[in-house]
Amino acid sequence: MWAIKFFSVIGLALLVLMKIANDDQLLEKKEKVLLLTDPYSKVNEYKPMIRKELEKYDIDKHTDVLLALMQQESKGLGGDPMQASESAGLPPNTIDDPEESVRQGVKHFKNVLQYGENKNVDFSTVIQSYNMGKGYIDFVHEHGGKHSEDLAKKFSLIQVKKDPDVYDCGGNKDNFRYPYCYGDFTYHTKVANNLKHFASAEQEEVSVAE
């Protein structure tokens, strides 16, 4: 009798696990379909959380910028939607809690923003440095103070030469970044394009409110 009860419990547990797995797969499929119809939908869900975190540093005027950054980093998916693990000195995707990711992502942005202001570089450099780190701010500061993809490529190549085994684009020479495999030299351009959407959406919200 005990054996029947034991296997019944095991069977029930397996059914529960299968249901959870199926529910997760269904949710993932729904998210993918939603992203096809509205690629900004997941990121928009984080707007209140991002704004609240930015308010702690009195920089909530940059809410749309953070939304644009998240759109580029993850489209709002996963446990680390701001891809902030590395900025905390952790391996990629170590953070597995969206709230923690937003906290760390905002902190990282605040740090590069302040550093960029101190170094008197343009805001485009600040955005690019979210991807490439503070070292890029120093580099731009020494080369005129204004970001360009050419400067981003040069900085990337310097970092690649320091550690070519790590920054090799996964060995894929067809990767658009190759041989500039440290960071993404087009990062600012992509974020700026995302920002056009979020800034436009913000204007629409204001118009409706008025």
Query: How many whole angstroms separate alpha carbon 65 and alpha carbon 130?
Result: 11
Q: Does the pLDDT of residue 114 top 80, yes or no?
A: yes
Mean pLDDT of 136-160: 98
Which tokens go with 140? 């731009």
Query: How many whole angstroms separate alpha carbon 117 and alpha carbon 111?
Result: 10
pLDDT digits (tens, 9 = 90+) for 149-208: 999 999 999 999 999 999 999 999 999 999 999 999 999 999 999 999 998 766 544 333
Mean pLDDT, all residues of the chain? 87
Residue type at 60 in one-letter notation: D
Burial class (CB in 10 A: 0-12, 13-18, 19+), 126: buried
Mean pLDDT of 112-140: 98
pLDDT digits (tens, 9 = 90+) for 61-103: 999 999 999 999 999 999 999 999 999 999 999 999 999 999 9
Q: Crossing angle for the helix pair 187-209 and 63-73, nearest 10 degrees?
A: 130
